[in-house]
Amino acid sequence: MQIFEFHFNPPKQKEVVSGHAKSLFDSFCYEPENIYEKRMGSLYMVGFLKNVLPQSAHFLNKLSRIIKEKYYKTISASQEKSLKEALRKANEHLEKTAKEGDVSWLGNLDFAVLSLKNFELNFTKAGFLKIFLLRKGRVIDIDQRLKFDDIEPFPLKIFGNIVSGRLAENDAILVLTKEIFENFQIHNLVNQVAKIFPFEQKKLKELLNGKREELTKLSGIFFLVVLRKESVAKERETLFKEKTLKIFSFKEIFKPIINLFKKAIRVPHLKIPQLKLAKPKIRIVKPVLPKLPKIRIKIPLFFANKKLLLIISLILILALGFFIFERKEQKQLTIYRENLNQIEQKINQAQSYLLITGNNPQARISANLLFNEGWQEISPFVNIASTFPSDLASRVLQLKNKISDNLYLLNQLVNVLDPEIIFEFTPHQKNIGGGFIPQRLISFGGNLYFFSPYSENAFKVNQNGEGGILSVNKKFNFAYPLPDSILFFTKPKEATLLKDGNFSESINLATPYANFNFNDLSSFQGSLYLSDIRDGKIIKYPYLGNYQWGEPRLWLANEKAKDFKSLAVDGSLWALTKKNSIERYYAGKLQETWDLDIFPAPKYFSKIFTSSQLFYLYLLEPDQRRIVILNRSGEIVKQFQSEKFDNLLDFSVSENGKTIYLLNGLKVYKVTL
């Protein structure tokens, strides 16, 4: 195998330990060390962890070590069986970690595992990592073959299915973390990588350096394994680790000129002969004068000294270079000022929309678009403003503040510095939720109910902030409020009612088709709507009354739900897509699509929620630590964002829609509209 690893802007260890690192990532390459390990071949892993806490400094290393040790120690006839055992061990480790109270990795872990032997590939992944097969210039998205049982980060489901296949010599497996993949997708870099043959470190670096300016702003991994008959040492490179300004140095700028000049003055080697002057003749005229002393005139050998000649030449060259550099710098500053003038004109135009037409919706949309464009254009200047003259740096800061103030106002963005905590689960104190690790929550009757697909029972917190276990000896994947009760679901088809504080007997729903596995649900007038991303279907269970549901039927008419992440029903069906857009369906047909052009620009919304009793749509985005509220025309009502929303798992809304409850790790926050 031949391995190429490029790590973009990895955090320093001291940043991770101190809690200042936003992410942690690494790649792990294990080659067989003895005859027993050679039976299993090579093992490669790529890991990425977001929202890193200080105690997570060794999380990826420990997980990779557990997988590696179990993989090579398992006595098996096939790689696939050994890999399954190793992944089972990893799942046990993650479940134990969660039960001990460390849930910071839930929803934040991306991890890929690949095993290779004799061109046989087995791999799996968790979270968002892209895995491609590069073959003779072609790009094949092979991780699409993975069928996930769940999209939620449940410990028992972190590592599930394995894909196996036979590869050929010179095939390459490319693994990209999320930010790197998104940038590569914009610039079509995956296809450009596929066209490189043979794969060489120099060619890959030339390609990546062509996008160096953009890649310096990203963090992540480019990991490439090329299949060769002979093993080649891996080549790892850390790129753009420090984003520091380089100090201007005459020596560096003129070093090539100096070296060239040195060579020029060495060839040929000339000797300047010394000049000898004859003694001057003194003519004596009478009367006789005193005899004058002999006068010797010696001409200094100024130009015979090569070192002195070199110094003078260098001074002249440096002076000329400094003059050229100054002119170039002034020209660049002039260009910067012209760019800032254009940005300022755009800001003035945006403000004129607001002044002339007031609260006209279309005017606000136009102003918002212009401010967003201004924000994108001013951001590069903010990063280098420290190198500008003071007047130019001050102008950049003023424009940035003016744009951000308007964007915050237009997008109704509220930065919550100290959100209210209404409850906190503690790992060891049983009376306040010790031992219970919540994953989801639901609001009903003024109380909050927490549940998890990997912990039995439910947990109730009342209006006074007092909590306690509700025993049922079942694990729940989803829940939805009915008018007088809560309907809890255990996949694939079991429902349980919670009414008046008591759980009912199980209700088994009919299965619509083999291997039915839904990923989200909603309800309207008692009927249930379940989405199955894997098969691209939405199934409706009509309500018959008395807590009975009829036979399931396909609800979408000639539509596919493969891009759906989450859904909510209030008469219309609102679907949140993987592209962060919202689609509205009615009677099984698509009615309209919204592309959410809001600030900050969406990265990855995870959940949408509404009901027939609510006026608004609610969207959760853990990546940007916010919840967004929209009206049914797609206009922003409010955004709540906080640095303390660093591990958002789920949210629920009170019956009147005024209070939002956010489950953030083991803490429960409340924000009010």
Alpha-carbon distance 425 to 432, whole Å? 6
- Residue ranges, the chain, pLDDT below 70: 17-19, 75-77, 144-158, 229-309, 320-328, 355-360, 427-435, 557-562
547: region left, alpha or beta (phi > 0 left; psi from -120 to 50 alpha): left
Select from 479, 528, 509, 454 the least CA-distant residue to 94.
Answer: 454
What lies within 8 Å, CB to CB, of 327 at 6+ separation is none
Per-residue b or e along 372-385, where b marks 16 or more CB atoms closer than 10 Å to that residue's CB? bebbebbeebeeeb
Query: Which helix or strand (DSSP H or E) is residue 105 part of?
Result: none
Tokens (6 digits) for 115? 């095993």
Q: Give the pLDDT of residue 415.
A: 93
- Give the CA distances from residue 335 to residues 332, 340, 392, 514, in Å, rounded to whole numbers and listed in that order: 5, 9, 12, 64
Alpha-carbon distance 166 to 229, whole Å? 14
Residues 263/257, Cβ–Cβ less than 8 Å: no
Give the rounded distance of the alpha carbon of 497 from its chain centre. Answer: 39
Alpha-carbon distance 641 to 415, whole Å? 5
Say how many residues make up the chain: 673
Q: What angle do CA 504, 505, 507 make, to 5 degrees?
A: 110
Alpha-carbon distance 562 to 604, whole Å? 16
Q: Give the pLDDT of residue 238.
A: 60
Judge residue 81's burial from the number of C-beta atoms within 10 Å of its C-beta, 0-12 exposed, 13-18 middle, 19 or more buried.
Answer: middle
φ, ψ for residue 341, nearest 5 deg: -60, -40
Q: Give the pLDDT of residue 428.
A: 57
Decide the pairing of beta strands 109-117 and 120-126.
Answer: antiparallel
Alpha-carbon distance 144 to 413, whole Å? 36
Residues 433/637, Cβ–Cβ less than 8 Å: no
Tokens (6 digits) for 664? 């953030």
Residues 618/576, Cβ–Cβ less than 8 Å: no
Judge residue 140's burial from the number of C-beta atoms within 10 Å of its C-beta, 0-12 exposed, 13-18 middle, 19 or more buried.
Answer: middle
Tokens (6 digits) for 598? 């809001």
Mean of per-residue pLDDT scores for the chain: 81
Query: Which helix or strand (DSSP H or E) is residue 576 part of?
Result: strand 573-577
Model pTM?
0.58
Sequence letter at residue 48: F
473: region left, alpha or beta (phi > 0 left; psi from -120 to 50 alpha): left
